[in-house]
Each structure stands twice: as C-alpha cells, then as structure tokens.
Amino acid sequence: MAALIAENFRFLSLFFKSKDVMIFNGLVALGTVGSEELFSVVAFNCPCSPARNYIYGLAAIGVPALALFLIGVIWNNHTWNLVAECHKRGIKNFSAAATFLLFGSIMGRAAVAPVTWSVISLLRGEAYICALSEFVKPSSLDKFPAEYGAEVLAKFPCKDVPANLTKFRDEVTRRLRYESQLFGWLLIGIVAVLVFLTKCLKHCCSPLSYRQEAYWAQYRSNEDKLFRRTAEVHSRILAAKNVKQFFGFVALDKEEKELVQEFPVEGVQPSPQWNAITGVYIYRENKGFPLYSRLHKWAKGVEGNGPSPEAHEMLFLAS
C-alpha cells in the first residue's frame, strides 16, 4: 500500500513537470491505473444485494470516470482560453471547423483518464460482475436448483452462497469476467483506431511542415516559460513598490533587492493588452509570415481576430 501511494505521488510530481503532450497523456493514464488499483483495494465493496449491485457496479465505473473527465476539462488551458474568448470576443470569428477542432482538442485530452479508468475497471471485472451477476438467467446454468433466484445470484460476487452453488458461482463469475474483459479489449481497440485516425487527419490537414510544427511547439513552450517567469518577477517587483509606498520600506532579501535594481517596473499593463493576448489561438499568417501566438500577434501589431486576406486563419490548433 505504501509503495502504491508513493507511486501516485511520483506521478503527480511528473505530471506537473511534464510539457510534452504524449508524455502528459501517458502520465495521466499511469496515474489513473494506480488510482484505480488503490480504489479497488480500499474502496470497492459489492453490496451483494438485488437492485443495489447494478447501481453500485455502474457507479464504481461511471462516477470516477465522469469526475476524471471534468477534472481533465478544468485542467486544460484551452478550456479557459475558450471561456475568455467567448466572454471578450465571442466565437463568431471562428469557422465551424475551427470550433470543432477546439472542442475536439479539449474533449480528447480530457478523455484520457476516464477511458483509462473504464478500461482497467473492465479488465479487472469486479465492478462488472457485481453489477450483472443478478441478471444471469438461471436457465442458462446447467442443473441450477429451481428454488434459487436472483437474490442468491446477487450474492455470488461476495462468495456468500450455499456449498452446493459453488460451481455455479464459479461459472457465473468466469462468464461475466469474460464479457467484462472482452468489452475492455474492444474499448482499447476502438480508442487506438480513433487515436491513429486523428493523428493521420491532423498531419494530413496541417498547413505546416513537420519542422515548422516542431518549431512552433518549441516557441510556444519557450514563450510560456518566459512569460510565467517574467510575470512572477514583474508582480514581485510591483508588489515590493506598493508595499514600500504603504509602509515606507519593504523587507527584501538579497535576490529580491537585485531584481528590483535590475528590472525597473514603472507600471502595469492596461486591460486591453491583457485581453489581446488572452483567448483561443488558431494558427494564422499575416502577409505570408507566421504568427505563432496571441502574444506574437500583439507584438507584431496585427489588429483583429477574424480571418482576412492579410491575416489568414489556417484552422490549425496548438496541441
């Protein structure tokens, strides 16, 4: 148990450090596997009662998957960029294809954890057996005693059955586990095919060459790192100035004093500038030159958000 908890903490550490999409999705999947194992060990207990089994079994699969999906949507930067876009500018500037691409990106990224949870739950089979054991038809079991019905079948997952029903319990468990694992493998196959087709479609429809797309990814990563680092320093210096104005002095350590002296901050950026660099960004070109981000677009002084002859929307969203 301690090792499993330690693995989940290591996963969280890597999760927040990872920037690559494939590594990010892989870490989400691994973390979900560990969480599902932990849940099965400490939380899953089939009630072994008619009518309750079905609800509990489906809830054990569906509710955590739904929660993971919503968490994935919340943690996706595209979600909040879309919210900002709708709030500030609306989505009238985006074509139907661009809007579909954006929602597909958000839903696809958020689906990694819930799909992984569902697959692992189905491969383990415990929740599926709990949910459907009472629905097995007694007539499908050879020489099953007529005096027993769904109430006894519902107790099969807990192995709390008369001795003369042991072989029937094993048969029911084996049958339901087979069905559960079959659905799990089918789900894996369907997801694999969808991922493959999506990747092919993305690269076929991309207006960028492989090298330019790799450069764009590097630019976005570096811009984000530098922006966050600079914003942290800028906000610290501005806060130091405001605190000094209020108290007459400010308690800074050596590093902070050097920052204040090296980077003079005269004021703050006005709201129109923040609005200009916030929101959804679809790859665009201006007079043949690429604009890799909203910040890049603002720095070049390109006005407007919608497609035009000089600012062409290429219908390609950053991963």
Structure confidence at residue 140 as a pLDDT band (50, 70, 90): confident
Q: What is the DSSP string of the chain?
A: -HHHHHHHHHHHHHHHH--SHHHHHHHHHHHHHHHHHHHHHHT------TTHHHHHHHHHHHHHHHHHHHHHHHH-HHHHHHHHHHHHT-STTS-HHHHHHHHHHHHHHHTHHHHHHHHHHHHH-HHHHHHHGGGS-GGGSTT--TT--HHHHTTGGGT-S-GGGHHHHHHHHHHHHHHHHHHHHHHHHHHHHHHHHHHHHHHHH-SS-HHHHHHHHHHHHHHHHHHHHHHHHHHHHHHHHHHHHHHS-----HHHHHHHHHS-------HHHHHHT-S--EEEEETTEEE-SHHHHHHTT---SS--SSEEEEEEE--
In angstroms, rounded to a whole number, what is the distance separating the alpha carbons of residues 144 and 169?
10
Q: Is the pLDDT of residue 194 over 60?
A: yes
Q: Do residues 129 and 176 touch, judged by C-beta distance below 8 A?
A: yes
**Percentage above 90 pLDDT, the chain:** 29
pLDDT of residue 137: 84
Residues 248, 237: Cα–Cα separation, whole Å: 15
Confirm if 18 and 30 have CB atoms less than 8 A apart: no
What is the reported pLDDT for 252? 92
Is pLDDT above 80 for 275? Answer: yes
pLDDT in tens, 235-263: 999 999 999 999 999 999 999 999 888 99
Output the pLDDT for position 285.
Answer: 84
Residue 167 pLDDT greater than 50, yes or no = yes
Say how many CA atoms lie within 13 Å of 202 toward its Cβ.
17
Closest by alpha carbon to 38, among 7, 69, 12? 7
- Please give the pLDDT value at position 141: 81
Where residue 264 falls among pLDDT bands split at 50, 70, 90?
Answer: confident
Question: What sign results for the dihedral spanned by CA atoms 297, 280, 236, 230?
Answer: negative
Highest mean pLDDT among 101-110, 136-145, 173-182, 263-272: 173-182
The full set of domain ranges for the chain reads 30-205, 210-300
pLDDT of 315:
44
Phi-psi region of 149 (alpha: psi -120 to 50; beta: other; left: phi over 0): beta
Q: How confident is the model at residue 314 (pLDDT cuts 50, 70, 90)?
A: very low
Average pLDDT over residues 203-214: 82
Considering only residues 33 and 189, tell me which one the structure prediction assigns the higher pLDDT. 189
Mean pLDDT, residues 74-94 taken together: 75
Q: Among 27-31, 149-153, 231-235, name the one with the lowest average pLDDT.
A: 27-31
pLDDT digits (tens, 9 = 90+) for 112-125: 889 988 998 899 89
Amino acid occupying residue 269:
Q
Distance in angstroms (rounded) separating the CA atoms of residues 171 and 155: 14
pLDDT reported for residue 295: 93
- pLDDT level of residue 95 (50, 70, 90 thresholds): low
- The residue assigned the tokens 């920052």 is 259
312 pLDDT above the threshold of 50: no
Phi-psi domain of 287 (left: phi exceeds 0; alpha: psi -120 through 50; beta: other): left
